[in-house]
Chain A
Amino acid sequence: MNARLRGLVYGAIGLVLGLLFSVLVSMALGAFTSLGALGFSKILLSSLMSKDTWISALPYFVPIAASASSLALAYRAGFITIGAEGQVMLGAVAAYWLLYYVIEHGSIAAIMVAILFAGLVGALYGGLVGGLRVGLGVNEILSSLMLNYIAIGIVNYLVAGPWQQGGYTRTAPLPANMGIGLSVAVLVVVIAGLLLELFIVFTKYGVAIDSVRLARKAAQTYGVGIASTIIIVALIQGFVAGIGGGVLLLQLLRQLRSVGLGGWGYGYMGILAAWLGGLRPLGALAASLLIAVLYSMRSTLQLYGVSDSFVLALEAIIVLSVLAFTTLSIRRGEK
């Protein structure tokens, strides 16, 4: 067996074991909830088996997958941004502004322009993180996080100020003709993920991006521009996450409301999905679906009086468990 195939096989074994183990840990952690371990296990398993859960997860899959597949690209370059959250938010803001205040009608062309504009704004926000890193040596983890909080501030300012409609801190909903269906939304994100995968596998940039993280000296020797690679990655990452935000607005949100410091959370869940998907855009898409399913379970859990944040812990356990088992399995494969 060649080394690459061997790595894949051992990686897959680790993935399966990790997922199984995480289910067991999750069940045990159910003891922390009012349901107890057994009651929680029943709900967890019946939700995972139910088709309805998977379908109701799709609207959340859209922003999570856009974040995750784009972050996978960034992480491959060792560019550990966590800014997808803010980019999704500003993408939604940008799409709303363009459609509601500028174009003011909902033709197909207008909607396409709005989605692209959302991507553009996301790219600028992402590019800012890349620029700060390359130009001034600012740690991207922190700058992107601060920018997420600033995005929250921007949304809260708009919905309580210039864009406020009525007595609540929210904008007017988009008119019915300004929007897209769920299937289109999913399609846009899946195509974006697919393009990212092709970009990594079939263009010279894929090699350059990997080399910046894995073999920086070699990259420099062979003429890969570290700074330019990071900037390109930052722009593409922000672009795709921004598109996710635009699509999210047009399909699910329809209007903007005030947000807490936790944000919407899609960009953060995208981080987990990116790693869970093995830093491959296609893997990240699959992982995003799983994360989205867990996320959509939170309303069921709330019905039983379980805090919806518990879902966050479960997502972390899946990632940690898969991380542990794939690390061990791949190491065993290398022996």
Chain B
Amino acid sequence: MVNIAALLSQALPYATVYALAAQGELFLERAGLFNLGLEGMIYLSAGVTAIISLHTGSPIYGLLAGIVSSIVLALLYGFFVITLGADQAVTGLSIVFLGIGLGDVIGRATGGAVTPSIGILADDSIVVSALLVLPIVLYLVLFRSWLGYVVRSLGENAATARALGVPVTLTRIAALIINGALVGLAGSYLFFTGPLGSRWVSMSLLGWGWMSLGIVILGYWHPLGVVVASYLVGLLYAMRPLLETVGIPSSIADVTPYLVVIIALAVISALYEKMNIKPPTAIWSR
């Protein structure tokens, strides 16, 4: 017999990682930039969190350092895309490799030692913030405030927004910092509570950033949609052991979330269009 309540709560840590990273990306994409580098930012943040919490003995310092490292990558992305006018796709993809490469070098320097964990109180508050507070705040800011109109105008037509006096560059840099901070928090949280449990194992934290990018689309660039999508994908992750018990080989069970997401991506766009929820024009138009 499946313990439904246990399954529902097992999904929470996964959903938290996804929700944090995806909300960070959602905010940036609403401001008209798409950062494909999430995978690298999460990985670097996790590595930096590992080494700093090991050396300082304080998980909070580790967490903060992870966030800072991710913001640095986000700003590097901004330097290339905004200052140099470089292509967003190639810059983002390079950030992925840079983050994974550096993150792994840094994470491995811990030698796989167990670092102090963040404790249940901090864990719970991050979960609640990510899944309840953040989506509501983002919704209010983006869709019910003057500031939100400014941000969203950049995702629709930056040139017009600029002509109307919106400080385009400044707003986008602010969006990048928010993007970096939330994605970095996702990486730190993943390190503490993910499959490794406060211990660095090389190349075992892959796929989270990419999936978060998918979740932005599944939630159709809406904070509430994104949090629901995060939870559903988290649930898929939590269900993998269950699939194995009904005779599905572990190799297939492991990739079920990706399979389901690709199918979901295929059917969902039309559905949202009917509900008249639109993605930012600058990011995605059919």
State the CA gap A147–B87 with chains docked (Å).
24
Q: Which residues of B contact A324 (CB under 8 A)?
A: 80, 84, 86
* CB of A161 within 8 Å of the partner chain: yes
Instruction: Tell me whether chain A's interface is mostly helix, strand or loop, or mixed.
Output: helix
Residues of chain B within 8 A (CB-CB) of A328 are 84
Contact of B259 (CB < 8 Å), options: A150, A157, A160, A260: A150
Q: Tell whether B74 is near chain A: CB-to-CB under 8 Å.
A: no
Shortest CB-to-CB span from A255 to chain B, Å, is: 17
Count, A-B residue pairs, CB within 8 A:
151
Q: Which residue of B lies closest to A80 (CB)?
A: B89
Contact A139 B80 (CB under 8 A): no
A141-B213, A307-B104 in contact; A313/B85 too (CB < 8 A)? no
Look across to chain B and name the residue whose beta carbon is closest to the beta carbon of A34. B109
Contact count band on B: 35 or more
Q: Which of B251-270 contact A (CB under 8 A)?
A: 251-252, 254-255, 258-259, 261-262, 265-267, 269-270
Q: Does B143 sit within 8 A of A, measured CB to CB?
A: no
Is A289 an interface position by the 8 A CB rule?
A: no
Interface residues of A in 145-167 (CB under 8 A from B): 145-147, 149-150, 152-153, 156-157, 160-161
- Count A-side interface residues using an 8 Å CB cutoff: 51
Residues of A260-296 contacting chain B, CB below 8 A? 260-262, 268, 271-272, 275
- Which residues of B pack against A, CB within 8 Å? 36, 76, 80, 84-87, 89-91, 93-98, 100-106, 108, 202-204, 206-207, 210, 213-214, 217, 249-252, 254-255, 258-259, 261-262, 265-267, 269-270, 284, 286
Sample of 28 A–B contacts (CB below 8 Å): A32-B105, A33-B105, A132-B262, A141-B36, A142-B210, A142-B213, A142-B261, A143-B266, A147-B262, A149-B258, A150-B255, A152-B255, A153-B255, A161-B249, A261-B206, A275-B90, A309-B203, A310-B104, A311-B101, A312-B100, A312-B101, A313-B98, A313-B102, A313-B105, A314-B101, A316-B101, A323-B94, A324-B84
